[in-house]
Structure 1
Amino acid sequence: MTEVAPSMWARFVARVRETSWAIDANDGIIATAGLLQGFAGAGAGDRLLLFTAIAAMIAGGLSAGGAKWAEVAAERESELEIAAREQDELERDPAGELATLAAHWESRGLSPELALEVAQQLKARDALGAQLDAEHGLEEITHRSAPWWAGLETAIAFMIGAAIPVLITYYAPVAIETWAIIVAVVVSLALTSLVAAGVGRLSALRMLIRSLAVGLGTMGVSYLAGTIFF
């Protein structure tokens, strides 16, 4: 079974069709805005707020990207271990593995004779791939570059979301900054939630309510914490 390396365009299209990029962007918006509201509640000035926003964007993006890289890398390692185990079983007991593959197809509704024929043809074409698909639902091994791409894409999506409160902090005076950030966060979360709902064919209203509840709740709690404890 070979690893498939998708092209950059195919990877981009697949990413756009997922909802995870919008969720990562929402995380960037919420995390950065929440941190800013906490500092604003504590009475921080423009310069400190701008530094906080930039630091949150960079650190949050790197953290989110690193976590995604580790997650996909762990999945790939697990897939490789499963593939190695299946390859060993194929070498030690090819007849038994063929019977297992035939039983899988028989359980899917084929007659015993047809199931055996299908299993034999699949084994002749790609024995390991057929076993991984039938026994583990694994159609292909994640390519070695996938963890790096996943981490990079997540980091970029997070930073794009975080850039919204960063830009507001840079351009808006501190007197209107808090309200400007709240309005921008609400609009941004609404747009990304609606896009994600459309891409994932989910309930737009539910996704919007969840995103706004988390975003506004985070900012509210952070602002109160800054007001009370500083």
Structure 2
Amino acid sequence: MKSITSPNEQSLSQRLIHKFHLSEQLNIIRAGVLGANDGIVSVAGIVLGVAGAQQSQAALFIAGISGMFAGALSMGGGEYISVSTQRDTQKTMAEFQKYHIQNDYDAERNDLTQHYINEGLTPSLASQVSDQLMENDPLNVTLKSKCNIELKHYFNPWHAAISSFCSFIMGSLLPLLSITFIPYPYKVPGTIGAVVLAMTFTGYASAVLGDSDRLKGILRNLLVGIGTMAVTYLIGGSLG
């Protein structure tokens, strides 16, 4: 017989799944993967540029740690601003739709009926479905059909910002620790190798989340990462 798990016995992952709507979960994951990816590429580019300039171990570490926190704050702040704008737009669309329902109910009902006809229902069945749904919750159902917005499921900018900030820190630790602790003369090639492995993982994760071609996602990620490291290393070498 299947046992019933009490709320106190649920794991953290289970509680998070119940707390966040699917769209919110995907937005948090997207911000996390993007932050980790940027952390790897940005800090790898910085430390390899400094290494190319033949700077000291202390200079490498200071440049890396500065880039890590500057990038994390920039990513977190950017996500907060971006998602806040998206949230404000969702709320504005909800108010706009509420106004239209109050002032032109029949037109909204007809639009909903046409939506279900386009989805494949017969006109009579689409009309019945629209009547029933408009009776129960007209604002939510018309928002969902027109704008794919669900009431009370607006994106939270803090979730995306914190996810992006923390993942940027985690991603940037790899090139920072590699360039700091791998001894000469393996410092640069060792860091590049570590970054390539990390970029392979984040490229694969991005492709899985986007349900796209895995190999293409990995190759695209590696191209950006290797290109960034090559350019910054050459610039550092030419100026050092």
Q: 2:16 is matched with which residue?
A: 9
Q: 1:4 is matched with which residue?
A: none
TM-score (norm 2): 0.83
1:113 equivalent to 2:113? Answer no
* Cα pair 1:19 1:200 within 8 Å, conserved: no
Q: 1:206 is matched with which residue?
A: 216
Report the identity percentage: 30
* Cα pair 1:46 1:174 within 8 Å, conserved: no
In structure 2, stretches of 5+ residues that fail to align are 1-13
Q: 1:104 is matched with which residue?
A: 115
Q: 2:191 is matched with which residue?
A: 181
* Cα pair 2:45 2:228 within 8 Å, conserved: yes
**Deviation by residue 1:153-198 (Cα, 9 ceiling, x = unmatched):** 0111111110101112332335432122111111211233234434
Q: 1:3 is matched with which residue?
A: none
Identify the range of structure 1 (185-194 vs 81-90) with the bigger mean alpha-carbon deviation. Answer: 185-194
- The amino acid across from 1:217 in the alignment is G
Measured on the aligned residues, the alpha-carbon RMSD in Å equals 2.5
* Cα pair 1:80 1:141 within 8 Å, conserved: no
* Cα pair 2:204 2:217 within 8 Å, conserved: yes
- The amino acid across from 1:162 in the alignment is S
Task: Evaluate the alpha carbon distance shift between residue 66 and residue 12 of structure 1 in structure 2; reply closer, same or farther with a 3 A threshold.
Answer: farther
Q: Distance in 2 between matches of 1:211 and 1:43?
A: 27
Q: 1:190 is matched with which residue?
A: 200
Identify the range of structure 1 (72-81 vs 96-105) with the bigger mean alpha-carbon deviation. Answer: 96-105
* Cα pair 1:45 1:174 within 8 Å, conserved: no
Q: How many residues align?
A: 223
Task: Evaluate the alpha carbon distance shift between residue 15 and residue 171 of structure 1 in structure 2; reply closer, same or farther with a 3 A threshold.
Answer: farther
Relative contact order higher in (CA < 8 Å, ≥ 6 apart): 1
Q: Distance in 1 between matches of 2:90 and 2:152?
A: 6
Q: 2:4 is matched with which residue?
A: none
Q: 1:66 is matched with which residue?
A: 77
Q: Distance in 1 between matches of 2:41 and 2:116?
A: 47
Q: Distance in 1 between matches of 2:42 and 2:15?
A: 29
**Deviation by residue 1:37-66 (Cα, 9 ceiling, x = unmatched):** 111111211111101111111111111111
1:82 equivalent to 2:93? Answer yes
- The amino acid across from 2:177 in the alignment is L
* Cα pair 1:19 1:197 within 8 Å, conserved: no
Q: Distance in 1 between matches of 2:94 and 2:190?
A: 53
